[in-house]
Amino acid sequence: MATTREGPAKRKRPGGRSARVRSAVLKATVEELAQGGYASFSFEKVAERAGVHKTTLYRRWGDRESLLLEAMLELGAERAPIPETGSLRKDLLKLARAIASSIPTPEVQAIVRAVISVGDRDPKLAEVARRFWSTRIELDAVIVDRAIERGEVPPDVNRELVVEALLAPMYFRLLMTGGRLDKKFLERLASFVAAGAGAEPR
């Protein structure tokens, strides 16, 4: 299809069409999950929703787990970019606020609950979750690296633990205790985690 659409786009900006297809497919992936859950999630449905041929999906992502991982990472990057304020506590607070405003959305809730409820029964999905979180925690840990470089925290601080200590209580409240992610809680949490990491108040 779309030789006429493809032609001009390719001439105007190389990669333009490819980037648009990627963006449409990742968006459709999230929407499909939010609407139908993981059980009915398929390349066919995503392709239909995105308005592309399903061979495009097979060629680019190979399997639905790879597509899901990329869609989750993209959603995370859009909703909660890595902050850089010059202070560990402020970076943690900014990240916490971004996450707190994104996790109650239907799309994020749908993905989180789908992954947890399927859990160990689907090793491929469990592997997607592990890879998503290890990538995401590694990205967020840059905040801690910068704090170490500034001399704000000791160089032997466990960078992944600092990130986990910030993220976990938010998901714990959202999924388990029903506690609120209000302004005061996020501020206390960020201060607590900065203190745990050994940062002096700034």
Q: Which is nearer to its own copies, 151 or 178 (CB)?
A: 178
Considering only residues 6, 195, 200, 202, which one is a binding residue for its own copies as defined by CB under 8 A? Answer: 195
| Rounded least distance, CB 61 to its own copies, Å | 22
Residues 135-194, interacting with its own copies (CB under 8 A)? 137, 158, 161-162, 164-165, 167-169, 171-173, 175-179, 185, 188-189, 192-193
Q: Which is nearer to its own copies, 11 or 121 (CB)?
A: 121
Residue 101 in contact with residue 133, Cβ under 8 Å? no
Q: What is the C-alpha separation between 38 and 40, in angstroms, rounded? A: 6
Q: Which is nearer to its own copies, 55 or 105 (CB)?
A: 105
Residues 76-135, interacting with its own copies (CB under 8 A)? 112-113, 115-117, 119, 126, 129-130, 133-134
Q: What is the C-alpha separation between 152 and 96, in angstroms, rounded? A: 19
Cα 75 to Cα 7, 23, 61, 135, distances in angstroms = 29, 11, 17, 13
Q: What is the C-alpha separation between 114 and 200, in angstroms, rounded? A: 39
Q: Which is nearer to its own copies, 6 or 182 (CB)?
A: 182
Judged by CB under 8 A, the number of residues near its own copies is: 37
Residues 47-66, interacting with its own copies (CB under 8 A)? none
| Rounded least distance, CB 171 to its own copies, Å | 6
Please enumerate in sequence order all residues whose Cβ is within 8 A of that of 107, keeping only pairs 6 or more positions apart, or say none: 30, 31, 33, 34, 75
| Rounded least distance, CB 9 to its own copies, Å | 39
Buried b (16+ CB within 10 A) or exposed e, 99-123: bbebbeeebbebbbebbeebeeebe
Q: What is the C-alpha separation between 109 and 198, in angstroms, rounded? A: 33
Residues in contact with its own copies by the rule CB under 8 A: 112-113, 115-117, 119, 126, 129-130, 133-134, 137, 158, 161-162, 164-165, 167-169, 171-173, 175-179, 185, 188-189, 192-193, 195-198
